[in-house]
Structure 1
């Protein structure tokens, strides 16, 4: 088996090959067309905005008699089928394309059509490869793959308003995550999606026990519809905006703003601003829903003190539980309850160090 170096072909070439029946989109080792309109829209929108998409792998047969080249798609047939169907006017773009929602190929401005047809797709060709060669390629690719985590599995499983909202909100606040809440590796592995989903859950259900099973159940409950979407998105943006502008920058990279604490800081701010459901907090739920009323500067000063407490060898007696729970299993409700209580207190008292 010979393998080509990666080459870059414009979309127009794939359309031409398909029209001339030199492109095989459904060989025996590929799945049939299963992508939803939402996923197809997102791919086309990615192309129209010039962002890269994964490369395509093709098995190439050269026919000596007809002098033609036939290309079977080994990996990437869903992407190519979507591209070819869009060019043929077989579907319109859905809500995941903010710039071109409702458009089909014929409705696009001429310069956008040109950009679409000229978009380069990276492809590698397996020249005259046998079925066993192709299966060996798949086995070797999969042997080097990193096992997927829970967030990546959810991203693959759910194609819903809730899941798309979580994705978009996580990407929107990358600059906030970069201040020390999430590392780049965690962002690549979609850990930001889990964090945002828990923020959504906090607004909808209050502070609860954590863990991926809880997040999975939230996705499942919101699979059919997400009627609270506008409210939740607006409140998340408002609270994260306060964190980005007023709270986190002076503590960037410190332990007090890393992911487990950031979620409870978010919860405390949201509770003060809007009031949260009781959730699993129980009878000790602090009073909320009164608005910030200038409390952010006080809060930031108190967080600075709490950060020093976390770095100390021995904490003050009144913050021993906060210290201990911050270093234990931070997903358990016992830990979250204590840290939520302390962060709510930090919003209401002057000078916690006194």
Structure 2
């Protein structure tokens, strides 16, 4: 097999090859056209906005007698099919393309049509490759692929109002994650999606056991509709704005702001401002709501600084032994979350150092 270096072709070339029957989109080792309409809209919007998309692999055959080149798409046929169908006005862009929602190719301005046609796709050509060669390429690519985690799998599985909302807020609050909540690697692996989804769960259902199966169930429940979307996004943004602007800068990068603690800090602030359902905490153990949340932020930040010192210590104060232990152990179980939620709610009420 002769393998070329990557080449960059404008979309107009792929459209021309398809029209001239020099591009085969569905060889035997590719899946059929199964993309949903929202997924198609998101791809086209990505192109119109000028963001990169993954490269495609093509098996290239040179026909000496006709002087023609024929290309079979080894990987990327759903992307190319979507692009070619859009250029042929076969669908309009949906909600995932906010700026271009409701438009097809012909409805775009001439400038945007030109941008679309000129957009370059990176293609790796496998010249005169046999089926065995192609399967070997797939095997070698997959041998270096990191297995998908639960958040990445949900991102690939769910394509609806709920999943879009989670994605958008996760991207919106990267500056907050960078204060020590999530590492850049965590963000690349979409753990910000899991964190936002759990925040949604808390606002909808209260503090409860955590874990990926619980998040999966919520995604499944919201598969068809997310009627609370506007209210939940408003409440989440309100609390996260508070955390980013006034709470976390004083303890940036410290153990007290890492994901497990950040989630319970979010819960305490949300409960203070909006009131939470008892959830798995239970009515009897649910902390009382604190009035005047904004006025109590200086006290709250002071208490977080103190709690961070406790987490860094080798022997915690007797009254915070449970908080210390639960912060070091399984932070997803309700026993841990319930205790830490209680302490963070107390941190809005009075000084913990006394």
- TM-score by length of structure 1 reads 0.98
Please give the residue correspondences for 1:72-111 in structure 2 after superposition, counting only pairs within 5 Å.
72-111=72-111
CA contact (8 A) 1:150 1:212 kept: yes
Q: Tell me, yes or no, if structure 1 residue 162 matches structure 2 residue 162.
A: yes
Q: CA deviation at 1:242?
A: 0.4
Q: CA deviation at 1:352?
A: 1.5
Gaps of 5+ in 2: none
Q: How many angstroms apart in 1 are the aligned matches of 2:292 and 2:192?
A: 27
> Who is 2:326 aligned against?
325
Q: How many angstroms apart in 1 are the aligned matches of 2:144 and 2:60?
A: 24
**Runs (4+) of structure 1 moved beyond 3 Å?**
none
Please give the residue correspondences for 1:195-274 in structure 2 after superposition, counting only pairs within 5 Å.
195-274=195-274
Q: Secondary structure at the match of 1:187?
A: helix
Does the C-alpha gap of structure 1 residues 65 and 289 become closer, same or farther in structure 2, counting only changes over 3 Å? farther
CA-to-partner distance for each residue in 1:62-118, whole Å, 9 max, x for gaps? Answer: 111111100000000010011111111011110111111111111111111111111
Gaps of 5+ in 1: none
Q: How many angstroms apart in 2 are the aligned matches of 1:26 and 1:234?
A: 44
CA-to-partner distance for each residue in 1:239-283, whole Å, 9 max, x for gaps? Answer: 000001001111110000000000000000000000001000011
Q: Secondary structure at the match of 1:60?
A: strand
Q: How many angstroms apart in 2 are the aligned matches of 1:82 and 1:249?
A: 44
- TM-score by length of structure 2 reads 0.98
CA contact (8 A) 1:274 1:289 kept: no
CA-to-partner distance for each residue in 1:305-350, whole Å, 9 max, x for gaps? Answer: 110011111111111100110001000000000000000000111x
Q: CA deviation at 1:298?
A: 1.2
Q: How many angstroms apart in 2 are the aligned matches of 1:18 and 1:311?
A: 62
Q: Secondary structure at the match of 2:295?
A: coil
> Who is 1:180 aligned against?
180
> Who is 2:43 aligned against?
43
CA contact (8 A) 2:62 2:68 kept: yes
> Who is 1:288 aligned against?
289
